[in-house]
Structure 1
Amino acid sequence: MVRKGENIYKRKDGRWEGRYIKGRKSDGSAIYGYVYNKTYMDLKERLLTMKALYSHNYIFKTVAYQGTLNDWVTCWLTEMQRQLKPSTYASYTNKMTKHILPFLGHLPLQAITTANLNDWIKRIERDLSPNSVRIVYQVMMSCCTAAVKRELILENPCKYVVLPKKTPNNIHAITSQEQRALKEKAVTHPKGLAVILALETGMRIGEIAGLKWEDIDFSSDTLTVQRTIQRIQLMNGVNKKTKVIEGTPKSITSKRTIPLSKNVKSLLAKQKQQTSGDFVLGGNKPAEPRLISMWLKKICQSFHFANIRFHQLRHSFATRCLEKGVSIATISALLGHQSTKMTLDVYVNSFMSEKRKAINLIS
């Protein structure tokens, strides 16, 4: 069990605590880091890894890092958990667990080559779309970039990996006729407000779920997007539990103020009279995104519409704006995109019809 000099102690709460040196202050005194675990052997293994990772901060590095990718990822994700939004951290962990570590985790970090990564890309291409492969690759790239900064590896092996070409966005807007019919039915449906909000504001499903009455200003006819609701996966060993969380919008530009149409204002005022609680669609707690998606599905089924994905409503809002001649900058701001380039990239198919109109006008 515990040996002298290990810096491992049994805490009063039953957990084991390990201490390691993270670096030195200007006066030479040590800066300590701590790790905790329920079992002694698991903690000892983790502590040895942390000591190896931080060894270059307080001793001359004479031995190359010997850990595997699995070892490094454990430490990297621990650090990233303090820096990332819970939803982003859950996404990183999920991609590592499902698509990276099963293929590469056993390899020594220093032995991973571009050839290994090219083989790995080919393997995950069997199950993932090209765009999804690129997203998983970005997580691996970030992980290796952090290892380079720590001087655990000399060069990032991800730099020269051959990636599949991007594919066009396959989410299409519904037609104007379909949109009118859907709005007519949604107005009369008890759960139709979420559909109207998406079609007339372009809000994301998580933003609609997170909408509170305090975000709506009936005097100025505006609503402010300032939170989002998501269900994230918690990776706890073999138990893959999920949790609903309230977080900030996707990006800085996603926090935005949107004018309300008379129709939406009227429906919101009616909803406020009929419900209680902080949330517009959930009352005392939010209606999570998958429940809102189910509402849309039931509306489509009850009125014999083809099944529509909720994100199509956001695309339909943007497409109707394009058809009415709204500027790209305004559409981008309403959607909360980080740039007009992103708007152009996402709606390239919609812009094609506008290009044809322009050609026909001048010819």
Structure 2
Amino acid sequence: MVRKGENIYKRKDGRWEGRYIKGRRSDGRAVYGYIYHTKYTDLKEKLLTMKALYSHNYIFKTITYRGTLNDWASCWLKEIQNQLKPSTYASYTNKMIKHVLPFLGHIPMQSITTHNLDEWIKKIGKNLSPNSVRIVYQVLVSCFTAAVKRELLIENPCKHVTLPKKKLNNIKAITTDQQKTLKEKASKHPKGLAVVLALETGMRIGEIAGLKWEDIDFSTNILTVKRTIQRIQLINGTTKKTQIVEGTPKTTTSKRTIPLSKNLSQFLTKQKQNSNGSFVLGGCKPVEPRLISFWLKKMCQSVDLPHIRFHQLRHSFATRCLEKGVSIATISALLGHQSTKMTLDTYINSFMSEKRKAINLIS
């Protein structure tokens, strides 16, 4: 069966075939590209993307892509939207719109050089840290890599770019005395459960916000991290909106089980008795992370502690584990890191103090 005007055909093997013009030969004849799918609607959507992608070539007698980075980025972001978590897609989109396209978007993609990219990195480096520059750069690398796979580029222009040197993570753990003071306050505070959880489990703020009572097995005293709550920015034309989204943990290793101490288990049991919803913190709906940060700020002010960011509590948990002689592999598993190397890189300053202790012991 042929769908007229769409260049979509039903094959004998049951699949749908879509045809689009990639370009034209020197004599004006069309050069076609083909895509296949078992579902007509899915193929039609992908075919529209490919037609938009190659629309710049219809009037040229060449198969060289003539679009700007703006043109390709628009197609690429649309193509990957259903392949990524909403939070990841929002992050990619925001980085492209805010840090990449204002500087490089107007340039024909085929004309972007290493020099262009080096100059771009210098410009964004005036307002971003070296680590943030590298994160934005990786999004652009992915964008160009997809273009190479589509044969729109022969080589990824990011290949020879000079990047700023990485800086060590400067998030410091709070001191033992500060932790004791904060934990005592949180244990008695009506909004202190999130702080206690972070200090005793090392969970991320979004993981704590997404924690449900069904994730806690009180018979075995084990907590399972299954989801995360985030507020993400949605860009629709010129309108910027945010919304709370529930998603899976950051990585595959972030979905993990954490044993509960006897005290934490008892604390959670008391909290559950006063709860009337599925979420540990928010009841029928989750509490968003920025509200949890606000609670922490107020608690610190009430006991004259300096400003403490919530992520410092996770670092403090790891540091206390290290001070007690817990192995790197165990700390890495509890935190949900992808590798022990990541744990070592993140807590190198804490490990240095342990190295000094070791040297002193044998000297």
Distance in 2 between residues matched to 1:25 and 1:342, nearest whole Å = 40
Q: Does the Cα contact within 8 Å between 1:52 and 1:65 map onto a contact in 2?
A: no
Distance in 2 between residues matched to 1:225 and 1:290, nearest whole Å = 20
With over 3 angstroms needed to count, the CA separation of the structure-2 counterparts of 1:154 and 1:35, relative to structure 1, is closer
Which position in structure 2 is the counterpart of 1:174?
174
Distance in 1 between residues matched to 2:196 and 2:358, nearest whole Å = 31
Which position in structure 2 is the counterpart of 1:197?
197
Alpha-carbon shift at residue 20 of structure 1 (Å) = 6.7
Give the SS at the match of 1:115.
helix
Letter in 2 for 1:244: I
Distance in 1 between residues matched to 2:349 and 2:43, nearest whole Å = 55
Alpha-carbon shift at residue 6 of structure 1 (Å) = 7.5
Distance in 2 between residues matched to 1:261 and 1:23, nearest whole Å = 59
With over 3 angstroms needed to count, the CA separation of the structure-2 counterparts of 1:112 and 1:308, relative to structure 1, is same
Give the SS at the match of 1:242.
strand
Alpha-carbon shift at residue 266 of structure 1 (Å) = 1.1
Which position in structure 1 is the counterpart of 2:339?
339
Q: Does the Cα contact within 8 Å between 1:296 and 1:310 map onto a contact in 2?
A: yes
Give the SS at the match of 1:304.
coil
Unaligned runs of 5+ in 1: 9-18, 37-42, 56-60
Pairing of 1:1-363 with structure 2 (within 5 A): 21=20, 23-24=34-35, 32-34=43-45, 49-52=52-55, 62-363=62-363
What TM-score results when the alignment is normalised by the length of structure 2? 0.87
What TM-score results when the alignment is normalised by the length of structure 1? 0.87
Number of residue pairs aligned between Structure 1 and Structure 2: 333
Distance in 2 between residues matched to 1:24 and 1:200, nearest whole Å = 52
Alpha-carbon shift at residue 49 of structure 1 (Å) = 2.6
Alpha-carbon shift at residue 33 of structure 1 (Å) = 2.8
Alpha-carbon shift at residue 52 of structure 1 (Å) = 3.8
Distance in 1 between residues matched to 2:62 and 2:236, nearest whole Å = 36
Which position in structure 2 is the counterpart of 1:16?
none
Give the SS at the match of 2:45.
strand
With over 3 angstroms needed to count, the CA separation of the structure-2 counterparts of 1:263 and 1:24, relative to structure 1, is closer
Alpha-carbon shift at residue 34 of structure 1 (Å) = 3.3
Distance in 2 between residues matched to 1:151 and 1:108, nearest whole Å = 15
Distance in 2 between residues matched to 1:24 and 1:304, nearest whole Å = 64
Distance in 2 between residues matched to 1:155 and 1:330, nearest whole Å = 42
Distance in 1 between residues matched to 2:35 and 2:132, nearest whole Å = 42
Alpha-carbon shift at residue 32 of structure 1 (Å) = 4.7
Letter in 2 for 1:314: R
Alpha-carbon shift at residue 304 of structure 1 (Å) = 1.7
Distance in 2 between residues matched to 1:290 and 1:229, nearest whole Å = 11
Distance in 2 between residues matched to 1:53 and 1:273, nearest whole Å = 64
Give the SS at the match of 1:33.
helix
Letter in 1 for 2:73: V
Give the SS at the match of 2:220.
coil
Give the SS at the match of 2:223.
strand
Unaligned runs of 5+ in 2: 8-17, 21-32
Cα RMSD, aligned residues only: 2.4
Distance in 2 between residues matched to 1:360 and 1:213, nearest whole Å = 46
Alpha-carbon shift at residue 267 of structure 1 (Å) = 1.1
Q: Does the Cα contact within 8 Å between 2:19 and 2:35 map onto a contact in 1?
A: no
Letter in 2 for 1:50: L
Q: Does the Cα contact within 8 Å between 1:213 and 1:278 map onto a contact in 2?
A: yes
Distance in 1 between residues matched to 2:325 and 2:176, nearest whole Å = 15
Distance in 2 between residues matched to 1:53 and 1:325, nearest whole Å = 62
Alpha-carbon shift at residue 65 of structure 1 (Å) = 0.6
